[in-house]
Amino acid sequence: MSIEIYPGGMPLARPVPPNWGEISPEGKTATVVRFVLVNRWVSFPIDQFERWEHAVGEPELLTIKTGKEEIVIEGRELSEIRAALDMGRLCELRVNFPRPTGARPGPQVRRITIETA
């Protein structure tokens, strides 16, 4: 049981943003997804995504297909990122691997590549 200072009120502190990217606020959908690569940022309108596939294994792969390109995300525990995509809330994705010791749990994005199909 938790104790609420103001029952039913807004929390005093905002939740900590994920260290792997950004998601839109609850109830809002993203219109663009930005991928942060080593030397550049690449943005895609969300309506260009034709499909995505999450392959579990070591490493996990999340492959997003557009009409002309294929985006491949490599890492571990990528289901949270896939869920943000499914709900239309993924705004930004960036590499967060290797994580410092004691970092909070969650997705580990090792590499993001964008290839012409």
Tell me if 7 is assigned to some domain.
Answer: no
Band the pLDDT of 14: cuts 50, 70, 90.
low
**Confidence (pTM):** 0.81
pLDDT (tens digit per residue) in 26-73:
899 999 999 999 899 999 999 999 999 999 999 999 999 999 999 999
Tell me if 93 is assigned to some domain.
Answer: yes
Tell me if 3 is assigned to some domain.
Answer: no
Return the amino acid letter for 7.
Answer: P
Mean pLDDT, the chain, rounded, equals 87
**109 with 93: CB under 8 angstroms?**
yes
Tell me if 19 is assigned to some domain.
Answer: no
The DSSP secondary-structure symbol of 71 reads E
Tell me if 2 is assigned to some domain.
Answer: no
Across the beta sheet with 90-94, the strand order is 21-23, 90-94, 32-36, 41-45
Domain count across the chain? 1
pLDDT score at 76: 92
Domain that holds residue 59: 35-116
Structure-block tokens of residue 68: 């002309």
Q: How far apart, in Å, are the Cα atoms of 113 and each of 55, 68, 75, 101, 117?
A: 16, 14, 12, 26, 12
Tell me if 22 is assigned to some domain.
Answer: no
Residue with tokens 């297909």: 65
Tell me if 106 is assigned to some domain.
Answer: yes
Tell me if 18 is assigned to some domain.
Answer: no
pLDDT score at 12: 63
- Better pLDDT: 18 or 10: 18
